[in-house]
Amino acid sequence: MRTGTAPDAPAPRAARWLAAVPSFLRPLVRPRPRPRHRRPVPVRPSRPDQLRALLAVLDEAVAAQGPADEAVAACGEPGPVPRGTARDCGLQSIGLHRLRARLQDLGTTDPDLLAAQARAARLLAYDLWMLRASMNLAFADRPVARTEAARLGLNGLGRPADDLRRLRDTLRAELPEG
């Protein structure tokens, strides 16, 4: 059994090469030491856990749609729009924006749930756009007949709000009992 090299054996190739490098360059050419241990691989949550997390955010989003729907409808009321409506739209917009950010930060890895998550994010983006557009119509600096007609046509969030509810209900039906 061989435990080392003989004293008269030539130096290993890497050592000979390193000896040929000038001393001021040696810090630049030395290999990095290997880490002594590997970092543990993070455990991904199971599909039911991911589904529960997604449903929790969707439940809050569906609950937040009621007040947002009322705020959009208030922008479409005939006559002058009260200033409190702008505050209500702003608060609802902040709430929906936070929910959309939470939705995007879920860390979902299941492909089917990723598709549902992306669809829900698009539907919430529509709700945010609708709130902003209704405020722009309701509080225009110089309302003209065309924008006033569009403002009076506002009556809520519309079909995308229903689509978000249906998406949430479809995902809830996939949740295993227990």
Q: Higher pLDDT residue, 147 or 132?
A: 132
SS3 per-residue string spanning the chain: CCCCCCCCCCCCHHHHHHHHCCHHHHHHHCCCCCCCCCCCCCCCCCHHHHHHHHHHHHHHHHHHHHHHHHHHHHHCCCCCCCHHHHHHHHHHHHHHHHHHHHHHCCCCCCHHHHHHHHHHHHHHHHHHHHHHHHHHHHCCCCCCHHHHHHHHCCCCCCHHHHHHHHHHHHHHHHCCCC
- Other residues' Cβ atoms within 10 Å of the Cβ of residue 74: 19
| Residue at 109: amino acid letter | T
If pLDDT is split at 50, 70 and 90, which confidence band does 2 have? low
CA distance 72 to 75: 5
What pLDDT score was predicted for residue 103? 94
What pLDDT score was predicted for residue 38? 75
Q: Is 54 exposed, middle or buried (0-12, 13-18, 19+ CB in 10 A)?
A: buried
Q: What is the pLDDT of residues 95-136, one digit of tens each?
A: 999 999 999 999 888 899 999 999 999 999 999 999 999 999
Q: Percent of the chain scored above 70 by pLDDT?
A: 81
If pLDDT is split at 50, 70 and 90, which confidence band does 28 have? low
If pLDDT is split at 50, 70 and 90, which confidence band does 9 have? low
If pLDDT is split at 50, 70 and 90, which confidence band does 142 have? confident
Q: What is the pLDDT of residues 38-84, one digit of tens each?
A: 777 777 888 889 999 999 999 999 999 999 999 999 998 998 889 89
Domain ranges for the chain, please list them.
47-174
What pLDDT score was predicted for residue 126? 95
What pLDDT score was predicted for residue 73? 93
Q: What is the mean pLDDT of the chain?
A: 85
